[in-house]
Each structure stands twice: as C-alpha cells, then as structure tokens.
Amino acid sequence: MVAPVIAGLDKFFYALTNWSQYLSPYVVRMVGDARGFMMFVGIVEIIAGIGVALKPKVFGFVVSAWLLGIIINLLTTGAYFDIALRDLGLAGGAFALGWLALYFDRGTLGGLMRHDTATTSG
C-alpha cells in the first residue's frame, strides 16, 4: 500500500524522478500534457494503493490491470524493459493477492473459491 501512495504523491512533485520520461511518445501525443497526465496517474495510484489495503479482493485485480497498462506503455517507449519486467512481477503479485483475497473471503462466489481440505477415509 505504501509504495503506490508514495509514487502517486510524487507524480505531483517529481522529487524521486522525472516521471514524464517513462511515457510512451504515443501516450504523449494522445494526452498532450505529459505533466498533467502524470498528475492523473498519481491520483489513480493513490486510490489504488489505499484500495488494495481496504478491499484487496477488488483492488488486487485493479492494480494488476493498471500495471499491465504501464507495461504496455513502457514497451512502446523502446526502453525501460527492466522496469516493464519488474512491473510484470508486481502485476502477478497483485493478481495473486486478488485471488487469495477471494479464496479466503467466506461466501465469495457462493463458496466456489473455498477449498475443503478435509478428506474422508472409508
């Protein structure tokens, strides 16, 4: 929860890095204002960071999808493949968090996500 909130806040201040450098030229052409777009990204990341702490069974999947979007953006820059690979691992972790939250939430999907480990011998 902390990392996305800090990164989201920094999209307003650019203290950690120049976040606009990670935007694909295609995205910059679509949005026009890279800095303004990064502020929007910051708001989304703050909400996602708080959301995953409060509702992981929903926001685990939201964060995973968001990270896949970031990966596509990074791949279209022609650079930052290392960051894209790291984000792929994070997306997998967020996806797993969402599934684990569903699994351990009693009553989710009518109990379809629960696994009974008790066996009968006979």
For 40-82, the pLDDT digits (tens) are 999 999 999 999 999 999 999 999 999 999 999 999 999 999 9
Q: Is the pLDDT of residue 122 over 90?
A: no
- The CA distance from 50 to 60, in Å, is 11
Q: What is the pLDDT of residues 4-50, one digit of tens each?
A: 999 999 999 999 999 999 999 999 999 999 999 999 999 999 999 99
In whole angstroms, what is the distance from residue 68 CA to residue 119 CA? 39
What is the rounded CA–CA span in Å between residue 4 and residue 7? 5
Domain ranges for the chain: 2-111
How many Å apart are CA 12 and CA 30, to the nearest integer?
Answer: 20
pTM of the model: 0.83
Give the model confidence (pLDDT) of 74-118 as tens digits. Answer: 999 999 999 999 999 999 999 999 999 999 886 555 455 555 555
